[in-house]
Amino acid sequence: MSARDKILGRLRAHMPAEAMMPPVLEAHYAPRARGESKAERLRRFRTGIEGFQAQVHLTTEDDWPTLLSALCAQKQVHTLMFGGLTPAGRRLMTTRFETTVLRSWEGQVETLKADLFHRVDAALTHARGAIAETGSLILWSSPEEPRTLSLVPPLHFVLLDAATIHPTFFDALRYENWAAGLPTNALLVSGPSKTADIQQTLAYGAHGPKELIVLVINAEGEAS
Amino acid sequence: MSVQTPSSPASNAGQPLAFVSAQALRERMHEAVNDTHLRQSFRGAMDFLMAKRAVQFPDPEELDSLRVLSEHIRQYSLSKLPDLLEQLETSLVRNGVQVHWAETPDEANAIMLEIARRHAAKLIVKGKSMVSEEIEFNHAMEAAGIGALESDMGEYIVQLAGEKPSHIIMPAIHQTKQQIAKLFAEHIPGVEYTDNVDALIQIGRRVLREKFEEADIGLSGVNFAVAETGTLCLVENEGNGRMCTTVPKVHIAITGIEKVVEKLEHVAPLFSILTRSATGQAVSTYFNMITGPRRSTDQDGPEEVHLVLLDNGRSQAYADEQLRKTLQCIRCGACMNHCPVYTRIGGHAYGTTYPGPIGKIISPHMMGLEQTHLLPTASSLCGACGEVCPVKIPIPELLIRLRGEAQSAPRADPAMVGQGAAYDPKISLLWKMWAGLYSRPSTYRAFSWLATRFRALTPARQRGWTAARTPLKPAPRRLRDMLKDRT
Ligand code: SF4
């Protein structure tokens, strides 16, 4: 008998005859933070993620590329990488950056790995959404925006549409029905990487990005 | 003391994992208690973690509701465990993940060694995984000539120092920054002594980034495995977990068989209560949900993903309705942060992979009671652990149960390996006599009368009791006599 069959056999021999009633998650979530306005969700998201040392800038659909270019100049970003096939990527292709070299992701990671680790100093990705309760960004990996893009470069810019902020993680995955089809890597990000492993002293810039900057568009008006 | 080993009902009998003999527990505790430096480190760290946790739960009603829900999810998952494991396997295989099952640590190591050999791997970078500690993964790989490098900052420090983690969430909590500064200066070429924490972290970052780039395999643990979607969830702050599971060509995840939940939505409350209970954070920096290897359209990610499901005594705990609750654990570490014993002796004195209250209730299943029967006795039963446990494991009740399993006369069909390991016929007889005397008024009266008359005969030295206390002595007069005088 295989290890699998032996383990399952032992468990089956002692499994309760009847499974318990499935948990009802709404009972916990329903009374909390519902009917919040879009502005309130943005406010909570912002407080949360700023508490984790991320920077948040409110901008607009028209202006964000210019803001990004200014931030890159200010942070002395030499090379900015992004997914060239996303709508945001296409916008960037037509934006003038004074001091920063724009580079879109081309090909498989194997050909880019050394550059990603040593030469690219910032990346831009878009967020699928965010979570007000905890100040978290939702990133889904895709062929256009591979997962190393938000991980390896030391500075990470994220473009977020304020209309996509959910009250809680539960709301996001339930109402967008994530279970029906997840990407290879779905990710919540709340701030730049950090550690408190040395004498409980908080230090930012552990193994992932050292800085996280969120550009929020569509902050005005109510969500549709 | 006679030690009898009942025949093994489960899988783990042959492989006790004693890093340090559990019998030496008392000596180690004694040493730890007398190490003022160590006690200060732990006291400070535990106060810090307790305060941070308290801030995360300002609303007792919300905490209560979330705990009840989390307990329910864990118990529900366990009530269908074999079904969920099969569903998980089916979903994972559909997603392209290779699933392996291991009854023992040796089997798990052999599976991973085989994968490493197939890829001619020289270096494995590791994200934080307590299960890999449980099976002594690093030793097994090093014995085969394969490097296994810890990349969680705390684990990296502990590995450099040649130690074991002393806390399941904060592995290097026993080290001061000066000790770490010395360690780095001695072991990392070209590094000068600095006890600036930011500088130390940047040194670790620089060294380990090179390794992420060159490693052949990344190893990680799993916080939750989702049966319906075949998703492996990882909670972390540093980004090393993401590095290990994203950059190398092969990702191996290892986890205990109890970590599975049925639905993706079940991870939402568990994740929330985990980070808040563990480090007092509303959320961790990263929550990583991995659903398979690199797909044909993907541009990065590992080409192979493996999951190793380890039993190592868990099915023994599962077989008993009460002991099964042990498997509800989500490894937050809150029980150790709030434990007065852990705070005083630190994590190493226990001598087991998992220290503190959770270690006392899970280690006996992994290692057998012969090696671990003292662990459940290293508790004042104050109940703090059970009170803070986010999934409401009745830890004090389980400690009493395990004491009973260890001290009772060996039975033919024991619930655990090593049942009766601490059985002493003389002590059992004493307790039986005591029970006999106290359960009948006539014998109790006669006994208490005699005890007050012959109190001068009580010995002045009473084993462990008098080591730090005055001897026990019957009172000169019985309560009943004093009451009689009053009327
Ligand atoms: S027993 Fe409870 S408190 Fe202790 S680590 Fe497990 S879940 Fe956390």
Pocket residues: Cβ below 6 A from ligand 1: B 329-335, 357-358, 388-391, 393
Please name the residues in contact with B379: beta carbons below 8 A apart, sequence gap of 6 or more. B341, B357, B360, B396, B399
Q: Which of B94-103, B229-238, B342-351, B456-465 has the lowest mean pLDDT?
A: B456-465
Burial status of residue A218 (CB atoms within 10 A of its CB: 0-12, 13-18, 19 or more): middle
Q: Considering only residues 85 to 124 of chain B, which have any Cβ-Cβ distance to chain A shorter than 8 Å? A: 85-86, 101-103, 107
Is the confidence at residue A169, as pLDDT, over 80?
Answer: yes
Check residue B17 and give its pLDDT. Answer: 44
Confidence of residue B465 (pLDDT cuts 50, 70, 90): confident
CB contact under 8 A, B265 and A179: yes
- The alpha helices in B81-218, defined as continuous H runs, are 81-95, 105-118, 130-134, 137-143, 153-160, 177-187, 197-214
- For the CA atoms of chain B, what is the radius of gyration? 25
> In chain B, which residues have their Cβ closer than 8 Å to the Cβ of A113?
213, 247
Rounded to the nearest angstrom, the distance between the alpha carbon of B237 and the centre of ligand 1 is 20
Asked if B225 and B77 touch (Cβ cutoff 8 Å), the reply is no
Is the confidence at residue B26, as pLDDT, over 70?
Answer: yes
Taking the model in full, what pTM does it have? 0.93
Check residue B78 and give its pLDDT. Answer: 98
Is the confidence at residue B225, as pLDDT, over 80?
Answer: yes
- ipTM summary value: 0.96
Per-residue pLDDT of B363-375, as tens digits, reads 999 999 999 999 9
Q: How far apart are CA B75 and CA B261, in angstroms?
A: 10
> In chain B, which residues have their Cβ closer than 8 Å to the Cβ of A20?
72, 75-76, 79
Q: How far apart are CA A101 and CA A98, in angstroms?
A: 8
- Four-way CATH pick for B1-175+216-423: 3.40.50.10420, 3.60.20.10, 3.40.50.300, 2.40.160.40: 3.40.50.10420
Confidence of residue A33 (pLDDT cuts 50, 70, 90): low
CB contact under 8 A, B297 and A143: yes
> In chain B, which residues have their Cβ closer than 8 Å to the Cβ of A146?
298-301
Check residue B242 and give its pLDDT. Answer: 98
Is the confidence at residue B5, as pLDDT, over 60?
Answer: no
CATH superfamily of A40-217: NagB/RpiA/CoA transferase-like (3.40.50.10420)
Return the biggest CA–CA distance within chain A: 69
Per-residue pLDDT of B257-286, as tens digits, reads 999 999 999 999 999 999 999 999 999 999
Please give the order of strands across the beta sheet that includes A55-58: A55-58, A211-217, A155-161, A122-126, A79-82, A101-104
Asked if A217 and A64 touch (Cβ cutoff 8 Å), the reply is yes
Numbered ranges of CATH 3.40.50.10420 in chain B = 1-175+216-423
Q: How far apart are CA B401 and CA B212, in angstroms?
A: 45
Confidence of residue B15 (pLDDT cuts 50, 70, 90): very low
Burial status of residue B123 (CB atoms within 10 A of its CB: 0-12, 13-18, 19 or more): middle
Residue whose structure tokens are 């030496």: B24
Q: How far apart are CA B259 and CA B222, in angstroms?
A: 8
Instruction: Give the type of residue at A78.
Output: H
